[in-house]
Amino acid sequence: MKTSNDDYDNPWKMAAERYFREFLAIFHPELEAAIDWSVDPTFHDQELRQVTRDAKIGLRRLDKLAKVQLLDGAELYIHLEVQLCRQRGFGARMFTYNSRLFDRYGCAVASVAVLADRCPCWRPRAFWCEAWGTVLGMEFTAVKLLDFLPAPVGWEANFLVHHGFPGNAALIFMKKNSESRYP
């Protein structure tokens, strides 16, 4: 049975995969510029379910996992997470995904969170915990969708994001940006 979260998540996942380069160009331009785009990215969403299904801190669904080749020839996994509402423990969830991916693939993973909620002050970017002198944690890239309003692509994306339809806005935002950047 489909939930309302699925209705919002699916357009983001489709947009992030179909317009992956544009997605990164908008939300992480430094990373987009470091990728060798002559080599197509590969997506590993199915493998990711194995990484997240047995987490003890609740249901976990990773939005997108892509493997790219950088200009220097190195390979990089990129974890994209779209968060539609404020969530206690979001930083811990990002840490859990990242550490499990590191364990599975044996390499660093770039994690990018797109915060599509309506609260301008909620901006998680890290997770840290400490026990008796042992510190564990990570920082991740977080981009707030509200920072893009008014959206440069036209009234459709503005209206949809402002009125609570970020999934539909994702498709419009990526498609229009793609058409203008890569004719």
Rg (CA), the chain: 16
pLDDT 10s digits, 85-131 = 888 999 999 999 899 899 989 998 999 998 888 888 999 999 999 99
Nearest to 12 by CA among 97, 81, 95: 81
pLDDT 10s digits, 28-48 = 999 999 999 999 999 987 766
What distance in Å separates the CA atoms of residue 44 and residue 177, rounded to the nearest whole number? 25
Global pTM? 0.75
Provide the angle, in degrees to the nearest 10, between the axes of the packed helices 45-52 and 90-105.
Answer: 110
